[in-house]
Amino acid sequence: MQRTKAFPRLRSDPGILALILTVLSVAIGFHLGLGLAVMRMSERRLVANIAKYYSMVFRGTPLLVQLFLFYYGLAQIPFIKGNAVTWWIVSDGTRCAVMAIALNTAAYTSEILRGGLLSIPVGLKEAAKASGMSRFTSFRRIEFPLAIRQALPAYGNELILVVKGTSLASTITVLEITGYAKRLMSQTFAIFEVFTLAGIIYLFINLVLVMMIRVLEGHLMRHEPR
């Protein structure tokens, strides 16, 4: 099987491709990280250990190594090559980048959300239980909203790291901002100008992201005294 090309129309706009990598990776990584955080707090040791060692592996190894393993390593496994679904994922650099970044940020997100959940007073949980709330209702209406408020500043930093982490996708043939900058550099030899512009674009994206996080934080903490 040959590797395919994903998002052919978007490859001409590296900025949009970088945003797509970020949005998809964060969307997948947040939900997976939330599940892992809940698993970490499980009373079942096996369930908690699965989430614990997942986090240990992905936080303890470089994202660049993970990208190489997904793009170059998985493609060598006969089962992956022979399965239409798995091959569709690993046969393209963009999809591999989304998968690797999502799994990586899920590990960090799980630790951030776990810290937020642990900060919730036990009395609130007991009060919810005494009022007749189910475990799921208590989590949805009390524990999760409070955990998000506590974890949002740290999670905002993780989002910024994800944006910067998308630059590593250029090492597996993805022409996002850094990948396009490398191509322009090889054509024009204007190293300083090209990468300065790339850095400004990343800075602009992160500044917008920081502003959005502050607005959301202000909305969630509007009941707190300034």
pLDDT of residue 1: 53
SS3 106: helix
pLDDT tens track of the chain, all 226 residues? 555 544 444 445 888 899 999 999 999 999 999 999 999 988 899 999 999 999 999 999 999 999 999 999 888 888 888 888 888 888 888 999 999 999 999 999 999 999 988 888 888 878 888 888 888 888 888 888 888 888 898 999 999 999 999 999 999 988 889 988 988 888 888 889 899 999 999 999 999 999 999 888 887 777 666 5
- Here the tokens at position 212 are 């959005």
pLDDT at 3: 58
Is-contact 18 205, C-beta < 8 A?
Answer: yes
End-to-end Cα distance, the chain: 60
Side-chain-facing half-sphere of 173: CA atoms under 13 Å? 12
Does residue 221 contact residue 149 with C-beta atoms inside 8 Å? Answer: yes
- pLDDT on residue 79: 84
Q: How far is residue 182's CA from residue 191's CA, in Å, rounded to a whole number?
A: 9
Q: Which two tokens stand for residue 129?
A: 């239980």
CA distance 117 to 148: 8
Residue linked to tokens 């009022």: 131
Please check whether residue 114 is in contact with residue 42, taking contact to mean a CB–CB distance below 8 angstroms. Answer: no
